[in-house]
């Protein structure tokens, strides 16, 4: 049976690796997703085959309820709610790992875990003492990091969902309080490992402080940085799963946690690079300070354009680039923009989509949104590849994007977003911006693009505007 269990875990790990590989490209993403699901299902089944597993009816009931809720939640979630759902599920992963660690703590005090552990290290001498210390410290890390990941992910979800303000929330001496909590948790971990007689109350305090720290950790971070925060918390959840798997000699949990942790931190660094920010600046809720100058005031006038003029301009253009943003996702207008693209292509125009690495509310948000509307992946062009084409582009249609097309990131050293790589749409011959209002983006700064002489504003809901625009082009 033991050999069969280990083989099952090995196959599950292979599924994890192949699944992640498949998720790297849209053509194989669906298969990769199913492969990952198969690996997780197999790992769960193999775990249920462990000898001596107790409370099997309760475990099966929990699995059934969790599966039912997961299917129900995912089937009802809109594309705009995907970041919130990802954040929530990630938080549950951290909570699960923390609860596993907590159950081991309870077993150490009220069960046989401590006696079994002492029997394992008996006769190992100094090495046994180091192993015992390592076991306790790793257990505390799983407990604390899992708690931080849970409440931090829930807070990130609340910010993305609008239940908590997306603006950075700060209070007096916030840095001192949060850093102080972190130091206290480190001291508690050392104390738990060295003062066994006071372990249980100290562990309770550590768990509470980790939950509080997760909230305070996310509060000062603005909504624009939530994708980075979610990715970072995802890596923390992976770390928690890996340490928990190490404790219980569960290879699937260990390797799965390593894969999640490594991919999460790598994705975090890629997004920070795309925003020209350091991870420390993001986690401290700081935008780039530039040269310390004040951001310059906008000059020029906002110019509007009518629906008919927009239709004529697009219909007689040779090259059109669409820049999708969160506003497109909110309006659920991805199918209409795909219809517009097909109409323009039928008239002989070359139509592409410019994708910024941090557009939307999560990595790949725009790619998934457009894939839902069956937009060809070949038409999605990343920032580095599309920027050289803008000077030769007749019309750029910006739909719901803001900070990722703001020229201030390149030419205003006093701007908070200075240095962030952007889509250089201001170099195109004409720019049309579909937007509800003149509200600033998540960075909280005005967009210089809107005041550019080549830019025209087409105000309104993206779905309604695109629907009318399609009819107007058909009527030409």
Last residue of a domain, one of 42, 76, 110: 76
**300 inside domain:** no
Residue 204 and residue 242 in one domain: yes
> Is the pLDDT confidence value at 398 over 90?
yes
Looking at residue 441, its pLDDT comes to 58
Residue 2 pLDDT greater than 80, yes or no: no
Structure confidence at residue 140 as a pLDDT band (50, 70, 90): confident
What is the model's pLDDT at position 198?
Answer: 61
Q: Which of 226-240, 284-298, 305-319 is predicted with the least confidence, judged by mean pLDDT?
A: 284-298
Query: Position of tokens 């998720």?
Result: 23
Q: What is the pLDDT of residues 87-109, one digit of tens each?
A: 888 888 888 888 888 887 777 76
Q: Are strands 380-382 and 319-324 parallel, antiparallel or unpaired?
A: unpaired
Which pLDDT value is given to residue 97? 83
Q: Judge if 337 and 463 occupy the same domain.
A: yes
Is the confidence at residue 223, as pLDDT, over 60? yes
Residue 393's pLDDT is what?
95
Question: How many residues belong to the chain?
Answer: 476
* 273 plus 315 within the same structural domain: no
Residue 369, pLDDT score: 83
Asked whether residue 291 is assigned to any structural domain, the reply reads no
- Predicted pLDDT at 99: 87
The 3 state secondary structure assigned to the chain is CHHHHHHHHHHHHHHHHHHHHHCCCHHHHHHHHHHHHHHHHHHHHHHHCCCCCCCHHHHHHHHHHHHHHHHHHHHHCCHHHHHHHHHHHHHHHHHHHHHHHHHHHHHHHHCCHHHHHHHHHCCCCHHHHHHHHHHHHHHHHHHHHHHHHHHHHHHHHHHHCCCCCCCCCCCCCHHHHHHHHHHHHHHHHHHHHHCHHHHHHHHHHHHHHHHHHHHHHHCCCCHHHHHHHHHHHHHHHHHHHHHHHHHCCCHHHHHHHHHHHHHHHHHHHHHHHHCCCCHHHHHCCCCCCCCCCCCCCCCCCCCECCHHHHHHHHHCCCEEEEEECHHHHHHCCHHHHHHHHHHHHHCCCEEEEEECCCCCCCCCHHHHHHHHCCCCHHHEEEHHHHHHHHHHCCEEEEECCCHHHCCHHHHCCCCCCCCCCCCCHHHCCEEEEEECCCCCCCCCCCCHHHHCCCEEEEECCHHHHHHHHHHHHHCC
Which of these three, 55, 76, 97, is where a domain ends? 76
Whether 142 is covered by a domain: the verdict is: yes
pLDDT (0 to 100) of residue 287: 45
pLDDT band at residue 414, thresholds of 50, 70 and 90?
A: confident
Task: Look at residue 42 and tell me if it is in a domain.
Answer: yes
pLDDT at 38 over 90: yes
User: Could you give the number of structural domains in the chain?
Assistant: 3
Would 296 be classed as within a structural domain?
Answer: no
pLDDT-derived band at 438, boundaries 50, 70, 90: confident
Q: How confident is the model at residue 5 (pLDDT cuts 50, 70, 90)?
A: confident
Q: How confident is the model at residue 290 (pLDDT cuts 50, 70, 90)?
A: very low
Q: What is the pLDDT of residue 289?
A: 41
| Same domain? 274 vs 196 | yes
Average pLDDT on 204-230 reads: 83
- Say if residue 62 is in the same domain as residue 103: no
Query: Final residue of a domain: which of 76, 93, 115?
Result: 76
323 and 467 belong to one structural domain: yes
Q: How far apart are the C-alpha atoms of 161 and 139, rounded to whole Å?
A: 33
CA-based max dimension of the chain: 89
pTM (2 d.p.): 0.73
Residue-level pLDDT at 293? 45
Q: Are residues 56 and 87 in the same domain?
A: no
Contacts of 386 (CB under 8 A, 6+ apart): 321, 352, 354, 355, 423
CATH number for the domain that contains residue 358: 3.40.50.1220
User: Quick one: pLDDT band at residue 121, thresholds 50, 70, 90?
Assistant: low
Q: Which residues are catalytic?
A: 403
**In this prediction, what percent of the chain has a pLDDT beyond 90?**
24
Burial class (CB in 10 A: 0-12, 13-18, 19+), 282: buried
pLDDT score recorded for residue 138: 83
Same domain, 171 and 99: yes
- What is the pLDDT confidence band of residue 396, given thresholds at 50, 70 and 90? very high
Tell me, yes or no, whether 301 lies in a domain. Answer: no
For range 291-300, the mean pLDDT: 54
pLDDT band for position 456 (50/70/90)? Answer: very high
Indicate if 38 and 87 belong to the same structural domain. Answer: no
- Backbone φ and ψ of 150, nearest 5°: -65, -60
Q: What is the pLDDT of residue 436?
A: 81
Q: What pLDDT was estimated at residue 264? A: 84
Residue 120 sits in the same domain as residue 153:
yes
Q: What is the pLDDT of residues 48-64, one digit of tens each?
A: 887 777 778 888 898 89
Q: Does residue 151 carry a pLDDT above 80? A: yes
| Domain range for 432 | 307-474
* Residue 125 belongs to a domain: yes
Q: Is residue 229, in this structure, part of any structural domain at all? A: yes
CB-facing half-sphere around the CA of 470: CA atoms within 13 A: 17
Question: Which range is least confidently modeled, 122-126, 242-246, 412-416?
Answer: 122-126
* Mean pLDDT along residues 384-389: 94
Task: Indicate whether 67 and 93 sit together in one domain.
Answer: no
Over 90: is that where the pLDDT of 329 sits?
no
Q: Which of 3-12, 192-201, 381-390 has the highest mean pLDDT?
A: 381-390
Q: Are residues 157 and 135 in the same domain?
A: yes
């Amino acid at each position: 049976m033991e050999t069969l269990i280990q083989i099952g875990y090995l196959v599950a790990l292979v599924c994890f690796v192949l699944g992640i590989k498949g998720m790297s490209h849209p053509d194989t993403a669906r298969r990769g997703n199913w492969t990952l699901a198969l690996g997780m299902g197999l790992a769960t089944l193999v775990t249920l085959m462990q000898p001596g597993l107790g409370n099997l009816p309760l475990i099966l009931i929990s699995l059934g309820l969790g599966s039912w809720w997961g299917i129900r939640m995912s089937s009802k979630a809109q594309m705009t709610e995907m970041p919130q759902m990802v954040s929530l599920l990630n938080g549950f992963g951290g909570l699960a790992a923390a609860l596993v660690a907590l159950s081991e703590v309870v077993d150490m005090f009220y069960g046989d875990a401590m006696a079994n552990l002492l029997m394992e290290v008996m006769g190992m001498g100094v090495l046994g003492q180091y192993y015992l210390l390592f076991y306790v410290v790793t257990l505390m890390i799983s407990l604390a990091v899992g708690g931080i990941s849970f409440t931090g992910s829930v807070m990130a979800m609340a910010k993305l969902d609008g239940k908590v303000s997306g603006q950075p929330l700060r209070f007096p001496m916030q840095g001192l309080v949060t850093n102080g909590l972190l130091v206290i948790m480190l001291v508690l971990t050392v104390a738990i490992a060295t003062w066994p007689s006071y372990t249980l109350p100290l562990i309770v305090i550590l768990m509470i402080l980790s939950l509080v720290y997760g909230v305070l950790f996310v509060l000062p971070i603005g909504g624009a940085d939530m994708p980075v925060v979610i990715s970072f918390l995802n890596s923390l959840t992976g770390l928690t799963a890996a340490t928990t798997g190490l404790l219980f000699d569960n290879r699937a949990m260990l390797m799965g946690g390593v894969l999640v942790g490594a991919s999460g931190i790598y994705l975090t660094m890629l997004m920070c690079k795309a925003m020209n920010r350091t991870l420390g600046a993001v986690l401290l809720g700081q935008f780039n300070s530039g040269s310390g100058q004040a951001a310059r005031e906008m000059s020029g006038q906002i110019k509007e354009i009518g629906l008919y003029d927009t239709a004529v301009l697009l219909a007689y253009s040779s090259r059109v680039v669409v820049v999708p943003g969160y506003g497109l996702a909110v309006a659920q207008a991805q199918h209409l923009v795909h219809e517009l693209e097909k109409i323009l292509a039928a008239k002989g125009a070359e139509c592409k989509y410019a994708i910024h690495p941090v557009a939307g509310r999560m990595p790949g948000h725009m790619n998934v949104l457009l894939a839902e509307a069956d937009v060809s992946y070949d038409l999605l062009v990343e920032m580095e590849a599309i920027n050289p084409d803008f000077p030769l582009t007749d019309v750029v249609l910006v739909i719901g994007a803001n900070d990722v097309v703001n020229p201030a990131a390149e030419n205003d050293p006093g701007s908070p977003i200075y240095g962030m790589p952007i889509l250089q749409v201001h170099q195109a011959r004409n720019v049309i911006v579909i937007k509800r209002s003149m509200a600033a983006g998540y960075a909280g700064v005005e967009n210089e693009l809107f005041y550019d002489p080549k830019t025209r504003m087409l105000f309104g809901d993206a779905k309604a505007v695109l629907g009318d625009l399609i009819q107007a082009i058909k009527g030409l």
